Structure 1
């Protein structure tokens, strides 16, 4: 079994990295779509609290994790 997360990485107003994870992104997602979504997040500051306001894009990546169960007796 494998799972994947789309990680959107930003810097916040305290110059710290904030990662927003989206589970199971579409396999055919494009960099243009991700970039546009990140721009929308920056233009509409809805994320605050402990993360403070995000104000700069750092990057994005898809992280895949594979898990293989081992049968024991």
Structure 2
């Protein structure tokens, strides 16, 4: 069984990375939708990282993990 998560990576005012991970993103999610959502997160100060505001989009990716359950 494959599991997917969307990782949104930002930089805060100190230049440190801050990652938001979202389980089971929509299959038809577009780059434009992700970019607009990330811009909204920054513009509205939705999250704070180590007491510093998020100021820049650093990237986004969908990570797929394959999980095999063993019967023991």
More strand by share: 2
Per-residue deviation, residues 6-36 of structure 1 (Å, max 9, x unmatched): 0000100111011011110001100010000
Q: Which runs of 4+ in 1 moved over 4 A?
A: none
Question: Structure 1: any 5+ residue segments left out of the alignment?
Answer: none
Aligned to 1:25: 25
Supply the RMSD in Å over aligned alpha carbons: 1.3
Q: Flag the structure with larger Rg.
A: 1
Q: Secondary structure at the match of 1:35?
A: helix
Q: Are the aligned partners of 1:12 and 1:51 in contact in 2 as well (CA < 8 Å)? A: no
Per-residue deviation, residues 34-71 of structure 1 (Å, max 9, x unmatched): 00001101110021152621100011000011111223
Q: Secondary structure at the match of 1:14?
A: coil
Q: Are the aligned partners of 1:18 and 1:51 in contact in 2 as well (CA < 8 Å)? A: no
Cα separation, 2, equivalents of 1:19 and 1:51: 15
**2:70 counterpart of 1:70:** yes
Aligned to 2:16: 16
